[in-house]
Amino acid sequence: MMQQYWRVKADHPDTLIFFRMGDFYELFYQDAETAAPVLEIALTTRGKSADKPIPMAGVPVHAMQSYLLKLVQSGFKVAICEQMEPPGQSKGPVKREVVRTVTPGTLTEDTLLSAKAHNYLAALFPGDGKKKPPAIASLDLSTGLFEVMALADWDQAAAELSRLQPAELLVPEGWPPPPQMDVWAKRITRRADLLFTPKHGAATLLEHFHAGSLDGYGIGDSPSCQGAAGAMISYCQETQREALGHIVALTRLHPGEGMLLDDACRRNLEINASLSDGKRDVSLLGVMDQCRTAMGSRLLAVWLNRPLQDVQAIRVRQAAVTWFLERVDAREALRAALRQMHDLERLLSRVALKRAAPRDLSGLRAALHLLPEIHRQLGAGLEGFPSLLDVLSSHLTGHEELRALLTKTLAEEPPAQLKDGGVIRAGFDPDLDETRQMAHSGRDYLAQLETREREATGISSLKIKFHRTFGYTIEVTNAQLDKVPAERYIQKQTMANAVRYVTMELKETEERLLNAQERLLALEAELFAQLAEQTAQHAAALQKTAAAVAAIDVLACFADSADRFDYCRPLVDDELIIDIRSGRHPVVERFAEQTFVPNDILLNGDDQRIALITGPNMAGKSTLMRQVALIALMAHVGAFVPATEARIGLVDRIFTRVGASDDLAGGRSTFMVEMTETAHILNHATPRSLVILDEIGRGTSTYDGLSIAWAVVEHLHGKSRARALFATHYHELTQLERLKPGIVNHTVQVKEWRDEILFLHTIARGAADRSYGIHVARLAGLPKSVTERAKQVLEDLESADLRAPVEPGHKSAAEPEYQLTLFAEPPPSPALTELNALNPDDLSPKQALETLYRLKELL
């Protein structure tokens, strides 16, 4: 047996082997030592090899998935090596084969996946720096969503990986990744270089799709896309050991079709998860997701992370949302029906990969029965029916044949597992009905036999039970052993409180019953496999239906949110205007304890291109800037937005630089991280971009920070010409409004009252004259002695260009303030300048003395 194990291990050297032995999956040697602490199971031994005990650890078959989840979440791959025949059927070890390799990017079971999130496997074709650019293919094996994109540069590649957040990334074995790939190092799986070649990729794809050309998939002219997509299919074929029947389409994406969002933008705007705890709930996705199906929730995440760049496509979605918004009763009935919808996409994948359980097919049957109601509530055929909903509704019909087949074949309430029996409906197959009757009559005969034996022996506690080792036995308690007829009862097992026996009649009955049950299960398994195969043939049409249901769910969700939270339909056009009236932060307003204060903002490509925002901390500058970016983002996915009125000119990319963080592992300080991110923005922003910059320059000295902030604003104004919101405490920057047309000062208002400040959270034209930092420090709980001392220092510094006094209330003589600078040495003092210019040989004693006194006064 161990020779068999080593043959399997040799074929999967970098994979943990789950080696099936009866009711357990066992791990041996290094696999056991690696997995035991992760799974928190006992590490034992089995036999010896080279006079050393063989390490072993095992998990029960029935609990395999929970253990698999732990290993996969820890980054391991696991090969499932199953017994392919019953023990004892042949001489020698039981035949075993690897039936599947489970990896982080190839999960399909609901218990191993998040229902509301895609689980992407990505494959990267690095390109050659010449005619073949980089390309990334992505696949969610659990849904069949398969896409590929050729990219212009590594900046786009990094943004695409940020969008996908792949659980696993396939790259060529000999490829040295650039620094942008460092963040994905732990998720990389290296594959043979040959598998990424366009020639191999094209051949793999043509064979998989049974096609003569790849032109119909949009990649006939892209060797890069062929290499990435082909490597993806090769890997899935190798790990799944089954035909990938649910992967029936490949969509080519193009970088210009969607708004580009980098990782910093997604993180800072909290699009998918909150910054505080990394959870989904308190994020834009979390508050927008009022979908009724898992498919809808996943599609919403796709839309939010790749907003549209086509005005007409956005307006088409808006029209569908408006239709639902205006038909309240129909919308609520539709959403009630959607709530009952099973996850068609993931059901289909398990059917295609031959992993479907009986309840997967019954769930599909229930979903097909819901489709007519969903179609009816859409209102197809009514005047003004939106074009998008017309297309989507056309994919909800045409499944009558499959629905009828599933209805007549499957039992009304099938069991969770095929081995439990009762999967196929009575009356569907005569042979099955006859075998089922034989099995049931055998159980009835056992009940009758138990009654007869009680009467014949007078043993009132006698019971016939099934034992996994001994089969059916007669169990007699110790108190009534004296009544056992020794001539007929053959003892099989003695227990603490009872003894188990068999009789010849019981053994004959057991044989008939087990044969009937075995045949019954085999017949049901055969019929179920046929049903699953017939269902898989409908995969292409069913996937279109699933996609339509998901889109309908998202659009109805947008309408429901607009209705409940008073959102408006934004005007989206090709202009460079962002005009928001009474805008609100979609996340903050949902969780705020007080009424959220709305604000107006206007940006354009001309006289109000950059909003320079000043005001105290806690006044709401950061919230306002994020709010504008999120409203723009929501408008680009076709959703309504939290405002009374909004006009959003197309945005090609949203850039954000907010907050303070360092990169200790990378050896970068907070300021270095800030400057790196700012450089990225300045190098990539265009007039169509929206830039959010918060407190640029605060990580260094005042003069350095001010000069950097000033230069950044000038660059945005003169070079990038992007629409921007720039928050700062450098009040000197407000002079730019006078110097640079297109820069407009805004301030977040506060009200002073009895030496306290009241945050009004309203924005107005103009500049703040104070930062109120000491007031905020007091609110934060700094000791009173510290804040009082700070007030004294502030008064001294504001009265003149002075150094901070050494003692409270004491002002030192006026002195120039020198700061360490990044750009130059501090200027020399006047005394030093004069001293350097002196020639002592030219001075008389009197002149030397007078010069000495004068220099002393300059110090």
Q: Any known ligand binding at 766?
A: no
Report d(CA 95, CA 86) in Å as an integer. 9
Residue 616 assigned ligand-binding role:
yes
The structure tokens listed for 625 are 């800037």
Q: How many CA atoms lie within 13 A of 808 on its CB side?
A: 8
Cβ contacts of 83-92, under 8 Å, gap ≥ 24: 83/20, 83/21, 87/22
SS (H, E, C) 489-537: CEEEEECCCEEEEECHHHHHHHHHHHHHHHHHHHHHHHHHHHHHHHHHC
Question: Is 615 flagged in the annotation as binding?
Answer: yes
Instruction: Go through 307-341 and write b for each residue having 16 or more CB atoms within 10 A of its CB, e for each that does not.
Output: bbbeeeebbbbbbbbbbbbebeebbeebbebbeeb
Q: Token digits for 424?
A: 């196929």
Distance separating alpha carbons of residues 752 and 204, to the nearest angstrom: 71
Q: Beta partners for 572? A: 648
- Degrees to nearest 5, angle at CA 241 with 235 and 242: 105
Burial of residue 646 (CB within 10 Å: 0-12, 13-18, 19+) is: buried
CA distance 157 to 16: 31
Q: 10 Å Cβ neighbour count for 129?
A: 8
DSSP 207-230: HHHT-S-SGGGT-TT-HHHHHHHH
Determine whether the annotation assigns residue 544 to a binding site. no
Residues in the chain: 859
The Cα–Cα gap between 654 and 260 comes to 7
Cβ neighbours of 64 (radius 10 Å): 17
Q: Which of 284, 378, 325 is nearest to 560 (CA)?
A: 325
How many Cα atoms occupy the beta-carbon half-sphere of 60 within 13 Å? 3
Please provide residue 782's backbone torsions phi and psi, each rounded to the nearest 5 degrees: -65, 145
* 817 Ramachandran zone, left/alpha/beta (phi>0; psi -120 to 50): beta
Of 476, 477, 470, nearest in space to 489 by CA: 476
**How far, rounded to the nearest angstrom, does the alpha carbon of residue 457 sit from its chain's CA centroid?**
67
Full DSSP string of 664-730:
TTTTB-HHHHHHHHHHHHHHH--TT-EEEEESTTTTS-HHHHHHHHHHHHHHIIIII--EEEEE-S-
Q: Tell me which amino acid residue 477 is.
A: T
For 664, the token pair is 């200790």
Read out DSSP for 77-146?
-EEEEEE-S-TTSSSSSPPEEEEEEE-TT----GGGS-TTS---EEEEE---SSSS--EEEEEETTTTEE
Question: Measuring CA to CA, which residue among 305, 349, 303, 416 is closest to residue 106?
Answer: 349
Whether 438 has a binding-site annotation, put simply, is: no
Residue 250 identity: L
**Is 856 labelled as part of a ligand binding site?**
no
| CA dist., res. 12 & res. 9, Å (int) | 5
The Cα-based distances of 688 to 607, 722, 723 in angstroms read: 15, 6, 7
Residue 315 CA to chain centroid, in angstroms?
27
Does the annotation place 618 within a ligand binding site?
yes
Question: Of the candidates 380, 376, 396, 292, which has an alpha carbon nearest to the alpha carbon of residue 336?
Answer: 292
619 is annotated as contributing to ligand binding: yes
Of residues 834, 221, 324, the one with CA closest to residue 555: 324
H runs (alpha helix) in 416-463:
430-457
Report how far residue 154's alpha carbon sits from residue 333's, in angstroms, rounded to the nearest whole number: 47
Residue whose entry in the numeric block shows the structure tokens 């695409």? 160
Which residues are annotated as part of the binding site for ATP?
615-622
* Feature table: binding site: 615-622
